[in-house]
Structures are given as C-alpha cells and as structure tokens.
Amino acid sequence: MYDKYYRFTGRPFQLTPDPQFYFESATHRKAMSYLGYGLAQGEGFIVITGDVGAGKTTLVGHLMATIDPQRLTAVKVVSTQVEGDDMLRLTAQAFGIATDNVEKAHVLSRVEAFLHHQARAGRRTLLIVDEAQNLGATALEELRMLSNFQLGGQSLLQIFLLGQPEFRDRISGGQVLEQLRQRIIATHHLSPMQPEEVGPYIEHRLRVVGWAGNPRFTPGAYALLAQASGCVPRRLNALVSRVLLLGAIDQLDIIDERVAEAVVADLGGDFANPEIENEPEAPEARAGSDSRTDRADVDRLRALQAEVEALNAAATRDGDEQDDRPIGAAAGHVAELEARLAKAEQRLDEQDEVLRRILSKLIEWVERDSRNGPFASRVA
C-alpha cells in the first residue's frame, strides 16, 4: 500500500467519512454557519443537501466532534425507503428504546419520556437523519410530529436532515410537505469545491497522516485532478488514492500531470459515471467478471515475462557469437539485435501496464469491502 511506501500513519483518502479529515472549503464553511445557527435556535429542522460524495456526513461528524456530549445527545439514523411507523421505530431504537412487540402509541410514549429525561438532565436532543431523500411522505410527517414534543415551551427534539439534491426539490414545492417546510429554520446545499481548493484539500488530508512533502504534487497535477473529479471530495479521494498507488509502484517523489493523466485514463470508465461506486454489480456477476479479467491479465503477464526472457537470452547468445562473423554480417546482426532489444523494451512496458492493472483491481476489491457499515449508529 502507498501509505507504507510514503510512511504515512494512515490512509488519507479512504472513502469512508472520517471527521478528522474535515476540510473547510468555502461551501463547507457556509454550511457550518447554518448548522451553528440552527443549533443555537434549539428547534425545528435543518436541511443539508448535496451530491453524492459532497461531504455531508463528514460535515456533520465534524460538527458533532465540537459539541459537548454532556450538553447534547445526538443520534444518527441512516434511512432506507421507510414509511411513518418504521421511521418512528428506527428513531426509538437509535435512542436505545426497545420497540419489539410494542404498539405505536407506547413507542411514542417511550420516546417522549426519553426526551423529557434528557431535558431534565440538562441535555438537548438532536436526531440526524442521513439519506433523507429515501423517506416517504408519511415518514417525514412522523418526524414533524416528533418535533412537536415540548417542555416548558421549549422544543425537546431538533432534527437534521441530510439528503441528495432531489430532497431539496421535494421540500421546496407542493402542498404535501407544507407543514414540514414551515418548520425548517436553515438550509444549505453543498456544492463541489472550487478548483483552487483542490490542492489545499489534498495537502490537508496528507498532513493529517504525517506527510512531510513526499510526494510533492505539481500545480499541473492539481489542475488535472480537479477537472477529472469535478472537485467532488469522494471522487477526488478515489482518484488521489490511485495516483499515490501508482506513485508508490513507480517509486515517485513527484506527482506531476503525466502521472495524473495515466490514472485518469486507466479509470476513464469510472469517472465517466460518478454514481458507479453506489451502484455495485450483483456479487455473482462481479465475481465472474473480475475473475475472468484477472485470469486473463495474469496469463498475459506470464506470457510477456516468458517472451522477454526468450528475447534477452537470444540477444545474449547471438551477441557472444557475432565476433566470429564477417564485418558486414556483424553490422547487420547489430541492427537485428537492436530491433530485438526494442521489442523486449516494448514487452517490458506492456508487462508493467498489466501489473498496474492487476494491482488496481486489488485496490478496488479492498475498497469495496470497506464500504459496508451499520444501518444506524450512535454519534454521541
């Protein structure tokens, strides 16, 4: 792995959101301002939207890391396509409330009792719902009803909704969600970073894992990485991770535009479709396709190695014999040897390319296995 070659203390560009790598771009700074304002109000809904990989989860994780858990109890639910009753039960379970074989009325009563207990202990309660675009109208209505719980005129529950751009469109029009819309006190859409922020973003994440300038990225590399990734953090992470892998394989101290171009060309299909990592193939189909491609690459690599060894052996043998030949024949044979050597160099280049492709597949498999996570997890 490149982290060992460059002596990093961790993997700076992993796809799993990690608040310690939070980078305050202009759009993230504005989002933090809205979140801070919303928390100060202590009521209602705060909506953060953004494209896939824009950094919504990392943003909220960073916010939670700055808040005193003795004053705020925050729980997080990653939603699927659920309706009202299921949303209520998921919320209760996130609070640690048992819901098995319990009627809805009793679940509501237990949730209210939990919120009252938190308030009396001097703690506010925050519910974070990720992937909110998956929620049905009844689930959103259930969340709105939960936000009605009060004690002494103060709201007992505040809710953050994180979603993709289509969620912003849902809540901005029509009468179905009018009551929810009236409860939203702050909203922000996370846009991609600016191209000039890509360099500082990469260097920030590298410094977190002990980067001391090796490897060094050139301005041309930053510009190409910004263009290829669309300045979307998750896509940029995937791209830079591959660039560093190639740098480690080739033992590079400088990452320039040519290195970035090679990786972008190799990943061209993936970067033509930003959603590809969120729509994996069926395991059976992927395993069959990957294994066939892998075997073909390995066979190709072995064939290339055998051909290079044969060419080198022939060149050595013929070179030893040329001293006994006439001058004209020897000159002609030198040209033949040069042609063979050129062919051997070409095969070596092809061999390196196949090896890089095999290593890229190995990295893809590792990253796929690392994407699974819990359905719901407690933030604080």
Name the residue ranges covered by the structural domains of the chain.
Answer: 2-16+194-277, 26-192, 280-369
Reduced to 3 states, what is the DSSP secondary structure of residue 216? Answer: strand
**Alpha helices of 160-282 — where are they, by DSSP H?**
165-172, 178-183, 198-208, 219-229, 233-249, 257-266, 268-271
Is domain 2-16+194-277 annotated with CATH 1.10.8? Answer: yes
53, 201, 202, 220, 257 from 197: Cα distances, Å: 16, 6, 9, 14, 17
Q: Quick one: 289 exposed, middle or buried, by C-beta within 10 A (0-12, 13-18, 19+)?
A: exposed
Check if 2-16+194-277 and 26-192 are the same fold: no
CATH-assigned architecture of domain 26-192: 3-Layer(aba) Sandwich (3.40)
CA atoms within 13 A on the CB side of 52: 10
pLDDT per residue, tens digit, the chain (380 aa), is: 799 999 999 999 988 888 899 999 999 999 998 888 888 888 899 999 999 999 998 998 898 888 888 888 988 888 777 777 889 999 999 999 999 888 999 999 999 999 999 999 999 999 999 999 988 888 999 999 999 999 888 899 999 999 999 998 888 776 668 888 889 998 899 999 999 999 999 999 999 999 999 999 999 999 999 999 999 999 999 999 999 999 999 999 999 999 999 999 988 755 544 333 333 334 443 344 344 444 455 555 555 555 555 555 555 555 555 545 454 444 555 566 566 666 666 666 666 665 666 655 655 554 554 444 433 444 44
Q: What is the Cα 99 distance to its own chain's centre?
A: 33
* Spatial separation of the C-alpha atoms in residues 53 and 57, rounded to whole Å: 9
Per the CB < 8 A criterion, the answer to whether 123 and 71 are in contact is: yes
